[in-house]
Each structure stands twice: as structure tokens, then as C-alpha cells.
Chain A
Amino acid sequence: MKENRRKRRAALAAVIVALPIILFFVSLNVGSYPIPLRDVGKSLLSLVVPSFRSEVPPAVRDIILLIRLPRLLLAVAAGASLAVSGAALQALFKNPLVNEYILGLSSGSAFGAALSLVFLGRAFPPQAGAFLFAVVAVLAVLLMAGRLEASLVSLLLTGVIVSAFFSALLMLVEFLASPYALQSLFYWLMGNLSLAGWGDLALSLPLMAAGLALLFLLRWRLNVLSMNEEEARAMGVDVRREKWLVILAATLITAAATSVAGIIGWLGLIVPHLVRMAAGVDNRSVIPLSAALGASFLLAADAAARSLTSIEIPIGIFTSLIGIPVFLALLNKSKKVWL
């Protein structure tokens, strides 16, 4: 019986790992511009074999290499980042309701983007503003809570306060903004992968990769950190240092993902739960599988957002519309996963 369960878990894990790869290649073929499969293949091959360049029309090649490819890579990286960030923070805070935006990150990045879109010029793009203030918000939380006792409850409470502060600042910026600036802010906030180009990825992709690598290395350590803090201390863990490390890594990847993709909700909350239900709570599995499932989730949502209608539906809407029912279904079944 136990053998069966282990085999089933292994099979599910294999599916989760294979999913993003399959979805990636499927998504490469999805789009409003109809491109036959062989042209997709030739466009990709033309990267390594120059002679293929002449065999595809330039528009097709540009669409595959300059539009779809970076967009899909962003979906993979952002999906993985948001899911892993949520999983790590849930373990750290010993709270399955924690999501990746918990420490003021979403309010900070929204404010940063608003500041840039409304007051600053082209030289300071919203991506930079969003990233900067996401990090500022979390640092503010860490420093303020550190003055207290940096316990997890105080971190969460401080996160709520900092969130509220930046939300208020955001409202102020919106109030002062011209209708023109408000429009661009409105769309940024909803989440959008449509304009992602190689330029956007140049900075954010390495950041996400670095943060993901860090959390991947810490994946077993998260098991220890998910124990009661006192117990962890007695087990020889420098809790304060390692807590900060996890929070900073999670912040880095979430801020990087949010700055290019906008605020995309529910991934960090739901994906880790699904993974735990499929493969158990050991973070040695949860972290990598969350990355895979998060990437799949966002790839699928993005493909849907692009192909369902001829207009671009902001991806944040999709993740919410899919995420909320899934979350409700999870609440019913979740008794096995935690207590």
C-alpha cells in the first residue's frame, strides 16, 4: 500500500516536471499569427544554424524569436519564482495562508511603478521603480520588525503596516495623476506579459535565476526552519540569519518577476499546496516541483490569455479566475497536508 503511494507520488512528480517543457513547446505554437510547426522549428534552429534564416519569412522569425520566446521564458521564470517564493515563505512562516506578497511587496512595487509612470520620465521605467520599491518595502519590514524581536508574528504585522503605508502613497499618486498616466498605471497593475522583450529579461531573468538557485540550495534547510523557532534554535540553526536569507531570496525573485510581469496573484498561494498534496510536504520536493508547476501554471494562463479572444486579457485576471475556485476546492481536501 505504501509502495503504491510512493509510486503514485513519483509518477505525479514526473508529470509535474515534464509539464512545463511540454507546455513551453505547445505555447510556442500558440498565437494570433498562424505559424506552421515546421516554421517554428526552423526559426528556432536558425539560432544555431544560420542557413535556416532564409527559409522563414522575417516576420515569422521575429515573432518566434523576439516575441514568443522571451514572453514564454518570462512566463516560466516568473511562474517558478512566484510559486517557489510562496512555498518558501509558507515554510518559513509555518503558515499555509502566506503568499509571496506578504511582506508589503505588492504595495511597494505598485507604488514604485506608479511613481515612475506618473512622475518620472522615460529614463526611469516602471520596471525599475517597481523592483526598487518592492525591495524597499521588504527591507523596511525587516528593519522595523528587527527592532522589535523579529518574531514571525511581528514580521507579518509589520508587513501589513508597510503594505498599508505604500497603498496610501499609491492612492495619493493616483489622485495627483493625470488621466493619461492613470490609464497606463491601471494596465500595469493588472499584470501583462505582452510587452516582454529581451530587454526586459536581460536584468530580471538573471535575478530570478539567482534567487531560485539560492532557494533551491536551501530546500532541505526549509524543513528545519519550518519547525518551531525554539526547536530550530536548539537544533543548532542560526534562525535569525537564515530567516533573513530566505526572505531576501524570496523577495528578490518576487520583485524581479513582478517588476516585468505586473502583479500576478494566487500563484504563490496555490501552487505549493497543489504540490504538497501530490508529493508530500518535504521541501526537497516541494521547492523544485513548485517551480515546475508554477511555470506550467503561468504558461497555460498566458496561452489562454493570448488565444481565447483577439484582445489581450491581463494575465492577473486569469490567475485569479482559475486560482480562486482551485483554492476553494483545496480548502476542502487539505486536511491531509497540514493539521
Chain B
Amino acid sequence: MRGRAGRLFPLPWPLFLLLALQLIGQELTVKDTLGRTVVVPARVSRVLSLQPEITRIIAALGADDRLVGRDDFIARFDYLSSIISPRLSQLPAASAPDGTPDLELVMRLNPDLIFASPSEASISDYLQSKTGIPVLAFASMGRFSGLLEEIRWTGAVLGRKDRADELIGYFRQTLGRVQKAIADIPAGRRPRVYLSFWSSFTRTPVFYEPVNAAGGRNLAEGLMPAYLGTLGTEVSLEKILGWDPEVILLHGSYLPAERKVTTSSVLDDPRLRSVRAVRDKRVYYTLGFWYWWDPALVLVETLMLAKLFYPQRFRALDLRSEANAVFKTFYGIEGGFDTLGRLLDIPDRPWR
């Protein structure tokens, strides 16, 4: 990942291809992440989203009044959705914890369109064949380009193309600012970062784009194929000591009570005391989710990481107000970042 905006989104992105735009027939034929070709009606007034990223994107597109249902994860575990759209908490959960859709409920909710997660390929086809309702399986797969495509296609099928373009432009522009500010820093001088995800200090994602976009070098990159991305892999403690990271980032989107790996557990671990990041006390929480991103949060995270990695260069960046502005742009809410910060118990300065 080089620091130039033009190279950030390599074209062509093969995941989403528009096969035919049939303006006359008022239908849209869309190819989703799984490569399924789906015909979507022109007017979509009732939407069921079983994919958390899409649910949030729909809220950002201002179309959350059309949502008739949500998935189990948003319903039970996602504290973020109540911040960005109070309406979401009213919706019934139409899938089970393992992703299986509740067919009867789906029929009763009678959506015009269903968004599903591509992680279980069979569910999308199953759902579509059983209900006769078109099902689109989208996910960002841990890539900004994927996220932006999600926004674009969701906007397209919901008739909110302008709003989608607006968000995409804002996203690119914000990222572009960061990229420009660090463009001149050669690869060898970018901070070496170790990420710990999934409640285990030795579990690390082999690809995490926010770190790259903020000008850091993910030490685990290349250990395994990038598509395993945020799922990650196990490394040994020795390996981490060998890498000697300058910055350690911990999976911070857990609520404080649920965190198993904390900054104090890392800083107090005698085995890690020789690591540079520990000596310099540069151990922080980051906001990484699984592959269910929130577009605003991902952007905020990138800003936050940029400030962590290059405190001098981003001295002027007021993270708190920038972050709140991002949330306002996406969701129209005030103080969104403040609320999140209180929930996750983190101050707005580069936090521990």
C-alpha cells in the first residue's frame, strides 16, 4: 500500500460487476459478492438486512425507515447500532445466531429485497428459492474498496444513488487527506505495528487496511493469504519479540467487561517487557470489528491510527471533533463518537 490516493483502489475491482442496467424495465441486475446474478425490483420499499455492514450503510443512506428487520448480531451484540440509528433497535431479528434465517418471520415481514451475508453461500440461495424474494449477498471482505462498492450498490438498488456518491466521495476525501499528509514518508520509516485480535494476544490479522491506510506496517502481513485478513492466524510470542513492534494495537471493540486482552495485561506481562512498544508504552486499543465494518467507524479508526502513528504530523488533528463530524456526516447524529468513547471507556486522545 503506497501512500498515494490514486493507487488506493486498484481498478478494476472484480467483486461487483454490473451486468446490465435496464432503465426501461425498471429492474436492476446485480452481481453480488458470491457471483450470484440477482434481479432487483426498481422500487424497494421494504428491506430486510441480515448483514450488519449493510444495515449500517442503509442507515447512513437515510433509508433505515425502509428496514423491516435485522440480523441476530445487530440485535444482540451490536452496541453501535443503537447509537447510529435508534430505529434499528425496534426491528425484529430475522436470523438465528448461526445465520440461519427465520423463514416464517421473513415471509411475514414481506420485504422486497433481502441483504444476506456471503459467509454462508448456501443460505442466500436457500432464502431466495424458499421465499421468492431477491437476496443480495454483499460484504466488504475487509477492504475499503469492497466497503465503497457496498455503499454504491446498496445506494443503487435503494434509489439513493446521490447520497451514496456523497458518502463515497467524503470517505475518499478524508482518506486522501491522511494519505497526502504522510505521502513522503518512505516505507522503511513507517511504524511497525503488531495487532492482537480475538481475545488472544498471539492472534493477529494478516491484513488490516486501516493500519495500512494510516501509514503503518502490519508486521503479520504476508504470513498467510490476505483474504484471511481479519480472521487472522496464531503466532508465537517469540515471533512477536523477534519483530519487536513499535506499536501494539489491541482489539478494542469489545466492551470493557468482555475484554480478555487489555493494555494493562500487555504492559504488565514480564515476557513482553523487552518489546519496544511496551517499553515506550505505545500499546493502544483500536476499533476493529470482524469483517462487519461500520463505514463511519472505519474512517474514524484510520484517523485515530494516523494520529497514533504520527503524533507530530497530525498534531493539528482534533480527533474528537473530526470523529464526531464523521458520525454526523454519515448518520446525522451529534456526539456519536463521544457516546461510543464513553461506552468503550476510552478518552478521545490517543488512548490506552
A325 to B234, CA, bound (A): 26
Size class of the contact patch on chain A: 20 to 34
A25-53 interface bits toward B, Cβ cutoff 8 Å, 1 = contact, 0 = none: 00000011100000000000000000000
Contact A33 B223, CB 8 Å, known A179-B290, A184-B198: no
Q: Pick the residue among A180, A183, A187, A192 that contacts B258 (CB under 8 A).
A: A180
B237 within 8 A of A: yes
A66 touches B270 (CB 8 A): yes
A194 within 8 A of B: yes
A311 within 8 A of B: yes
B233 within 8 A of A: yes
Which of B122-130, B137-145, B238-246, B316-324 lies on the face that meets chain A?
Answer: B238-246
A175-202 interface bits toward B, Cβ cutoff 8 Å, 1 = contact, 0 = none: 1111111011001000010110100000
Q: A192's closest neighbor in chain B, by CB?
A: B234
B242 touches A175 (CB 8 A): no
B38 to chain A, nearest CB (A): 26
In chain B, positions 90-134 with a C-beta closer than 8 Å to chain A are 96-98
A184 touches B200 (CB 8 A): yes
Q: A residues within 8 A CB of B76?
A: 178
B238 touches A67 (CB 8 A): yes
- Which of A121, A122, A197 has its CB near the most chain B CB atoms (within 10 A)? A122
B202 touches A194 (CB 8 A): yes
In chain B, positions 230-260 with a C-beta closer than 8 Å to chain A are 233-239, 241-242, 244, 254, 257-260
B234 touches A180 (CB 8 A): no
B21 within 8 A of A: no
Q: B residues within 8 A CB of A181?
A: 199, 258
A187 touches B238 (CB 8 A): no
A195 touches B200 (CB 8 A): yes
A28 to chain B, nearest CB (A): 12
A281-309 interface bits toward B, Cβ cutoff 8 Å, 1 = contact, 0 = none: 00000000000000000000000001000
A237 to chain B, nearest CB (A): 47
Q: B residues within 8 A CB of A313?
A: 234
A314 touches B271 (CB 8 A): no
A115 to chain B, nearest CB (A): 14
Q: A59's closest neighbor in chain B, by CB?
A: B274
A63 touches B238 (CB 8 A): yes
In chain B, positions 179-209 with a C-beta closer than 8 Å to chain A are 198-203
Q: Pick the residue among B98, B224, B236 that contacts A31 (CB under 8 A).
A: B236
A119 to B123, CA, bound (A): 28
Q: A307's closest neighbor in chain B, by CB?
A: B236
A194 to B233, CA, bound (A): 13
Q: A305's closest neighbor in chain B, by CB?
A: B236
A184 to B224, CA, bound (A): 19
Q: Pick the residue among A33, A183, A312 that contacts B199 (CB under 8 A).
A: A183
Q: B271's closest neighbor in chain A, by CB?
A: A66
How many residues on chain B are close to A (CB under 8 Å)?
37
B77 within 8 A of A: yes
In chain B, positions 272-327 with a C-beta closer than 8 Å to chain A are 273-275, 290
B234 touches A194 (CB 8 A): yes
A184 touches B199 (CB 8 A): yes
A312 touches B236 (CB 8 A): yes
Contact A67 B271, CB 8 Å, known A180-B254, A310-B223: yes
Q: Pick the residue among A122, A176, A194, A311 that contacts B237 (CB under 8 A).
A: A194
B73 within 8 A of A: yes
- Which of A63, A306, A313 has its CB near the most chain B CB atoms (within 10 A)? A63
B198 touches A183 (CB 8 A): yes
Contact A121 B258, CB 8 Å, known A33-B242, A67-B271: yes
B222 to chain A, nearest CB (A): 9
B98 touches A175 (CB 8 A): yes
A311 touches B223 (CB 8 A): yes
Q: B residues within 8 A CB of A63?
A: 238, 241
Q: B residues within 8 A CB of A31?
A: 236, 238
B241 touches A33 (CB 8 A): yes
A105 within 8 A of B: no
Q: B residues within 8 A CB of A59?
A: 241, 244, 274-275
Q: A residues within 8 A CB of B241?
A: 33, 59, 62-63, 67
A180 touches B271 (CB 8 A): no
B257 touches A195 (CB 8 A): no
A75 within 8 A of B: no
A282 to B242, CA, bound (A): 47
A176 to B198, CA, bound (A): 17
Sample 9 A-B pairs with CB under 8 A, ordered by A number: A117-B199, A122-B262, A178-B73, A179-B73, A179-B290, A183-B199, A184-B198, A194-B237, A314-B234
Q: Which 7 pairs, one residue from A and one from B, show the smallest C-beta to C-beta distance?
A: A59-B274, A312-B234, A184-B199, A183-B198, A66-B271, A33-B242, A178-B77
Give B contacts to A, CB under 8 Å: 73, 76-77, 96-98, 198-203, 223-224, 233-239, 241-242, 244, 254, 257-260, 262, 269-271, 273-275, 290
Q: A187-B198, A312-B202 are in contact. List 18 more A-B contacts (CB 8 A).
A: A32-B239, A33-B241, A58-B274, A59-B244, A121-B258, A175-B96, A178-B76, A178-B77, A180-B77, A183-B199, A184-B198, A187-B203, A192-B234, A197-B269, A306-B236, A311-B234, A311-B235, A312-B235
